Structure 1
Amino acid sequence: MKIISKNKKAYFNYELLEKIEAGMVLTGAEIKSIRLGEVSLQDSYVTFSNNEAYIVNMNVSTYKFSRIFVVEPLRKRKLLLNAREIKRLQQEQKLKNLTIIPIMVYLNSAGRAKLEIALGRGKKLHDKRDVIKNREAQRETKYKKI
């Protein structure tokens, strides 16, 4: 497994409850661009329409050697999930007020691009402050030992 891009802000802004692996419908130029690492998950999220899941605002830069078929970098991309998974995710999103956030893009052993998404609950400001405080305390104890 080769990790291409991680959404580090998601770990800070959300309490992640459950992670799910999903495939993506991509064009040839997009997969080549992803293999070069030209993808960003910042400000992206998952939506549903017509019982299908889509990732919105995932920025896949245009492949510089593609001349004929150029796609928009921020287009909606369909996610490949089972119908049961899509229905369950929709229900949990509505009932529990959860957000579905992309965590990372990676290539599996077969060379296919996969997206790891997670159900997350937004952290409050005081929770974020506690995380920062704990991180600074760990840093101080680490440097005191040395």
Structure 2
Amino acid sequence: MSAKPNRFEKSVNIKNKKASFEFEFIDTYVAGLMLKGTEIKSIREGKVSLTEAYCVFHQGELYIRQMHISPYSMAASYNHDAVRERKLLLNKKELEKLETKSAEKGLAIIPVRIFINDRGKAKMEIALAKGKKLHDKRQDLKEKDAKRELQRMAFD
């Protein structure tokens, strides 16, 4: 008798690919997530979208908004809201530092990736970031193309 295929992934690493193109990262932090019952199961299935997510401070605590976690398919009536405000867990010193830095003009706190650590907890990597200008984005694209061209020449 064959074993059932496991629908949960062993290692979850969901990235916000748009973030590195739109923003220049200044500093990164790893924060815990406060989740409700079925959210962790959806994260383990890899059903998370970070493209429109952003972080805000409310009464000295950091929250993430617009992060979409799809409802868990096996849950009946005890499912979670797909897009709700979720609290991020950081040290007090880190929170104070982020709050003062994010108050500066042009800086934002954005989610970079979600992963499951070795203890089975959902963690989020967030970054203090500054928006890129159009010429910065063009420069990054030129550098990527040059790297790709060098790699092609090396294999030929």
Q: TM-score range by the shorter chain?
A: over 0.9
User: 1:112 is aligned with what amino acid?
Assistant: K
| 1:107 pairs with 2:116 | yes
Q: How does 1:11-22 map to 2 (within 5 A)?
A: 11-22=20-31
Q: What per-residue deviation string (whole Å, max 9, x for no partner) do you get for residues 60-114 of structure 1?
A: 0000011121221110001111222212111001125311010110000110000
1:138 Cα shift?
2.1
- Structure 2, unpaired ranges of 5+: 1-9
- Please name the residue that 1:32 is paired with: 41
What's the counterpart of residue 10 of structure 1?
19
- Max radius of gyration: which structure? 2
Amino acid at match of 2:22: N
Q: TM-score, normalised by structure 2?
A: 0.88
The number of aligned residues is: 146
Structure 2 residue 153 is matched with structure 1 residue 144: yes
Alignment correspondent of 2:126 = 117
| Mapped partners of 2:33, 2:97: distance in 1 | 19
Would you say the 8 A contact 2:114–2:123 is kept in 1? Answer: yes
Tell me, in whole angstroms, the C-alpha distance in 2 between the residues paired with 1:118 and 1:142. Answer: 30
Farther-moved stretch of structure 1 (95-104 vs 22-31): 95-104
State the distance in 2 between where 1:29 and 1:115 align: 17
Q: For 1:34 and 1:127, locate their aligned partners in 2 and report how far apart those are by CA, in whole Å.
A: 33
TM-score, normalised with respect to structure 1:
0.94
Aligned-partner residue type, residue 9 of structure 1: K
Provide the residue aligned with 2:135 in structure 1: 126
User: Unpaired runs of 5+ in structure 1?
Assistant: none
Give me the whole-angstrom Cα distance separating, in 1, the residues matched to 2:101 and 2:126: 14
Q: Distance in 1 between matches of 2:149 and 2:95?
A: 44
Using the aligned pairs only, state the percent identity: 43
Point out 4+ residue stretches in structure 1 off by more than 3 angstroms: none
> Helix, strand or coil: the match of 1:141?
helix
Give the alignment's Cα RMSD to 1 decimal: 1.4
Determine helix, strand or coil for the equivalent of 1:20: strand
